[in-house]
A and B are shown apart, each in its own frame.
Chain A
Amino acid sequence: MSETDYPEHEKLISILKGDQSRIIPEIPDNRLWDHIESQLSADRIKLTDDNLQKSVVNHSGKRRALFVAAAALLLLVGSFVYINSSDQNTELVALGEFRGSDSAEASNDSLSVKVSELDPIDDHFYELWLINFDESGAIVDLVSLGAISSDIKVDLDDIDTGVFSTVDISIEPDDENASHSGNSVLRGDIL
């Protein structure tokens, strides 16, 4: 029997008739899983119900968030944020107490954010996120792309941008809590 008997499986049959590759399984050092686990921990955002509530664009009743937002309002009005890529443009909108909007662009392999004015706030920093919401508006996944204080280009090689629908910039308190503060100030759809 040959490839010509099943022309649609020509490559497969060629492989079958070739020499079988010898792969020697190798038990990895236990430390490798520890490294993976620590990386997962670094990326993990604990989405408690409280966090989910706060991550929705609704800051009412959150005294601290309002305070920070009010402070940031003064700093962000007139700021322009662009998310650049070769693939698409999208609009980035200021949230809640903030005003203004601007255009944005996104790509599959990198994310470039240009900030014309993003002034620092005492004991806080700005953080860039990708978020995915389900149809009900609940967050189902999010990943931090790190702090942002000025123009930035983020490599998205290891991130499946296809599952994220939104780019988000939040104000985060300078503490040990890696979770999203719920205090989003700028957001744009990338799908």
Chain B
Amino acid sequence: MSNTELKTTDYQRFVSGDERALNELYQEFSPLILGIGRRIVGDDAEDLLQTVFLSAWKNRKQFDPNKGSMRSWLCGITRYRGIDYLRKKGQNSSVLVSDTDLHVVDIRTEEVDDVLDSLVVHSALSEIPNKLRNIVELGFLQELSHREIADKTGLPLGTVKSSMRRGLALLQSELEVSNVRN
């Protein structure tokens, strides 16, 4: 979806096992993944970053550009690797031993889910076609009705409704890709 993302042909190189394509993906997305990792696991973010890209490489055949963007796919891997990390740390820690402590781990993983969902959706929103993004933003950020959006944009009411559905469907697909465990 992003103009800066690799082209479809490059995704094919990645899926077919070209390590140079993995390096290009790393150059493109590692700052984002490291930033997310910092939110999830703090000082261990660099370890998580390596785990995410190695996992993406090993599971590269599961990536389907028709289902969603590379960004959302990598975010999904980051989500589950990060949560795995937190759970293992919670289980292995000699400090976290009580039910309350384990509950804290659960809350932390829920927070990770929420943060990543929000990140994926807002990131995807910035990359869908301008017309669709404008209508979705008017509807849900400015909370205008369909009629108000039609009046404001000059678009027919039917166009506003169909554009809204298309925009939401695109965002939904990105959210679903990021929630698939790889």
Q: Which residues of A contact B (CB under 8 A)?
A: 1-2, 6, 9, 11-13, 15-21, 23-29, 32-33, 35-37, 39-40, 141, 157-160, 163
Q: Which of B31, B125, B171, B172 contacts A27 (CB 8 A)?
A: B31
Q: Is the CB of A160 within 8 A of B62?
A: yes
Asked if B54 CB lies within 8 Å of chain A CBs, one says: yes
CB distance from A61 to the nearest CB of B (A): 29
24 contacts between A and B (CB under 8 A): A6-B164, A9-B171, A12-B121, A12-B172, A15-B118, A16-B122, A16-B140, A16-B141, A17-B140, A19-B118, A21-B115, A21-B116, A21-B118, A27-B31, A28-B34, A28-B49, A32-B46, A32-B49, A35-B50, A36-B26, A40-B19, A40-B54, A40-B57, A159-B58
Asked if B44 CB lies within 8 Å of chain A CBs, one says: no
Question: Which chain A residue has the least Cβ–Cβ distance from B23?
Answer: A33
Asked if B146 CB lies within 8 Å of chain A CBs, one says: yes
CB distance from B146 to the nearest CB of A (A): 7
Q: Is the CB of A158 within 8 A of B118?
A: no
List A contacts of B182 (CB < 8 A). Answer: 160
Q: Is the CB of A36 within 8 A of B53?
A: yes
Q: Is the CB of A39 within 8 A of B121?
A: no
Q: Is the CB of B62 within 8 A of A23?
A: no
Asked if B36 CB lies within 8 Å of chain A CBs, one says: yes
